[in-house]
Amino acid sequence: MSVIDVVVIGAGIHGAGVAQAAAAAGYNVLILEKEGVATGTSSKSSKLIHGGLRYLESYQFSLVRKSLKERAVLCRIAPQLVKLQPFYIPLYINTTRQPWQIRLGLTLYALLGGLHKSNLFKRVARKNLKYLDHLKQKGLKKVYQYYDGQTNDTKLTKAVIKSAKELGTIYICPVNITSIEKNENLFKLTYSENNLEKTIQAKVVVNAAGPWVNEVHNIVAANTKSLEMDLVQGTHIIINTPAPSGVYYLEAMDQRAVFVMPYEHDDEVRTMIGTTEKLFTGKVDDAMATEEEINYLLDVYQNYFPENINIKVIDSFAGLRVLPKVGGSMFSRPRDTVLHWAVPGMLTLYGGKLTAYRSTAELVIKKIKPLLGNKKRIAFTDQLYLNLE
């Protein structure tokens, strides 16, 4: 039985990134996926490649700096998939955050991005406010504009998988992993594929199963150490109105951030609104948008765009984010990926941002390299062009 260097469980964006990075570093890699590429959380994000302006409020400066750096890398290596969009922040008489606070935040954002021209901001001239997609004018004080990235998360994940395959990664789907055993320095993984039971051996296992990570631990025949986590449901809706000219960064009634953005749906560019943050309890596979969440997002939209009438929700989706179980509000919790050794040789990824998937994958390689030894590097992930053609 041949031995695989790295087995990656899960083909979401983080599993795809780890597979690509490991293959680029010269290791032989196998991905085991139960349903398909980006069928879980990675296809249900806000589709943004951004630094996370709102994370400045919870002092996550290193995450913002890293994300802005990664945004620049992705714009360079995946120009067909990641594009900069104008973002608008409207401020009204009753907006909680004052103009000086927004200006300070945008200035810090630009500084953390190295003052690159793509990270600069401006105030929209008052004479141009009326042209902003029927944005409510009553009580409007100022609108700031800056730039951030937008993508199709499913296509991006598929492009990373494609790159990993070109580097030699083997991808098997659908599979059902039935057991993982640790024998001395190797893992034995048993799984079923097309109703046939198969077994492989691996030096390292990377658990990138998203909200299912702790379920993977349950099939390990060893004493695994799982981290406590919360699953937070984020719902998005797509409505029948034409797409806005940019992304609107809005303050909801409860002071949360909600985005209104262009989104391609069934070959037409529509309007997408999201996201919510609702603690999820239940079976991961049962996550779905609730009527309460849909109405919440519609209320936010109609508050800022009251002239748009006869609004109809044509689609909705809900994804589950993994957040560490710590004190404080969901908003203030760390959003960076937590890397955790569940057992020696099995590294589990908890949470993380779409934007930072590549840098997270490179960090994973640093963690597992001592267990694998050096191999002749094939490529560097920040130089690999991503496309689906």
Identify the pLDDT of residue 329. Answer: 59
Distance CA 304, CA 258 (A): 11
Residues 6+ apart with CB under 8 A from 282: none
Identify the pLDDT of residue 299. Answer: 97
The residue with tokens 């020696």 is: 344
**Phi-psi label, residue 310: left if phi above 0, alpha if psi -120 to 50, beta otherwise:** left
Produce one character per residue of 120-153: b if its CB has 16 or more CB atoms within 10 Å, e if not: ebeebeeeebeebbebeeeebebbbbbbbbbbbb
Identify the pLDDT of residue 334. Answer: 63
Distance CA 103, CA 26 (A): 46
pLDDT per residue, tens digit, the chain (389 aa), is 579 999 999 999 999 999 999 999 999 999 999 999 999 989 999 999 998 898 888 888 998 999 999 999 999 999 999 999 999 999 999 999 999 999 999 999 999 988 888 889 999 999 999 999 999 999 999 999 999 999 999 999 999 999 999 999 999 999 999 999 998 889 999 999 988 999 999 999 999 999 999 999 999 988 899 999 999 999 999 999 999 999 999 999 999 999 999 999 888 999 999 999 999 998 999 999 999 999 999 999 999 999 998 999 999 999 999 987 766 555 556 668 899 999 999 999 999 899 999 999 999 999 999 999 989 999 999 999 999 87
Sorted by where each starts, the structural domains of the chain and their CATH numbers stand as 3-42+154-228+334-378 (3.50.50.60), 49-150 (no CATH), 229-322 (3.30.9.10)
Nearest alpha carbon to residue 41 among 62, 14, 9: 14
Identify the pLDDT of residue 336. Answer: 81
Please compute Rg for the chain using Cα positions: 22
